[in-house]
Amino acid sequence: MSAEIINGRAISDELLMGLKAQIENLRTQHHVTPCLAVVLVGERPDSLSYVTNKDRVAQQIGMASRPVKLPSTATQDEILRAVQELNADIKVHGILVQMPLPSHVDAETVMAAIDPAKDVDGFHDVNVGKLHKGKKDGFTPCTPMGCMVLLHRVLPNLKGKRAVVIGRSNIVGKPMAYLLQEANATVTLAHSGTHDLASVVAEHDIVIAAIGKPEFVKANFIKPKDAIIIDVGINRIERDGKPKLVGDVDFAAVSEKAAFITPVPGGVGPMTIWGLMDNTVKAACAAHNITRAR
């Protein structure tokens, strides 16, 4: 058996077209153009490529973008000042500070400085609290938000299903577990301290892998026939002397056993960008008291 591929790129493209129409409507009917500010500190090649990608997609859908580039030597105060300027700018609706920040900067302090109403990454304590309480007026972190859409495409009703999230980071694992239980799945949050991970994972219908270890989830982890696998991992490895991007799941082996699987690249990654754009449109509507058209 070979698993059906969940094509995150195609689903993201389709959803971005919907956002493009919403943005056009906001512009013509309300004279509002949603604007995303992306703060990049330093020149890490991976961060630079993520930021360029976000900027490109924003432009494609008619969103305004405001890149703010600071040198890797920027002090914490300089970064905080840049964030405060964006907080105060009524033309800016969403603010994202690209992580990781240089080691001399306290990322928590920077995240806490972003106006929660513009925190389109959903990392501010206010938005984390809203997510945990099931409140809908906050911002959900973009990657788990994208994973839920992918999952719902192949399984609209999660009630009664058992889901395991591997990884307990604040940006992926923990919010993912909250969203799954909100959707009525019965959730296990596994992590580096989990004993006999393969047996734990094998009890579940849905597997979300967010570990950061290349091809870590093997076929023996997976329940035969009907499992759905969402692979969040992005790992750069070298294979046969060439650079290659792989997920946290051993795609070739697991796709022989599961029912559905996301590829890397082309699975969760494009959905994360859609999540960011969607949150920015949501922020713009909230800032201007506009009821969002769907």
For the CB of residue 235, give the shortest distance to ligand NAD in the complex, in Å: 5
Contact in structure between 211 and 194 (CB atoms under 8 Å): no
Amino acid at 179: L
The CA distance from 67 to 59, in Å, is 12
Indicate whether 15 belongs to the interface with ligand NAD (CB under 6 A). Answer: no
Active site residue 248: no
Active site residue 225: no
Query: Tokens standing for 89?
Result: 């700018």
| Of the candidate residues 167, 180, 207, 282, the single one contacting ligand NAD (CB under 6 A) | 167
166 binds ligand NAD (CB under 6 A): yes
Q: Closest Cα partner for 147 from 220, 228, 227?
A: 228
Directed axis angle between helix 8-30 and helix 45-60, to 10°? 50
Residue 13 is a catalytic residue: no
Binding mask 262-281 for ligand NAD (x = CB under 6 A): ------xx--x---------
Q: Of 101, 232, 276, 285, which one interacts with ligand NAD (CB under 6 A)?
A: 232
Closest CA to 230 of 196, 260, 194: 260
Assess 188 for contact with ligand NAD (CB under 6 A): no
Q: Is residue 164 part of the contact set for ligand NAD (CB under 6 A)?
A: no
For residues 279 and 294, what is the distance between their CA atoms, to the nearest angstrom? 13
Residues found near ligand NAD in the complex (CB under 6 A) = 143, 166-169, 171-173, 190-192, 194, 197, 210-213, 232-235, 268-269, 272
Question: Catalytic positions, please?
Answer: 54, 98, 121
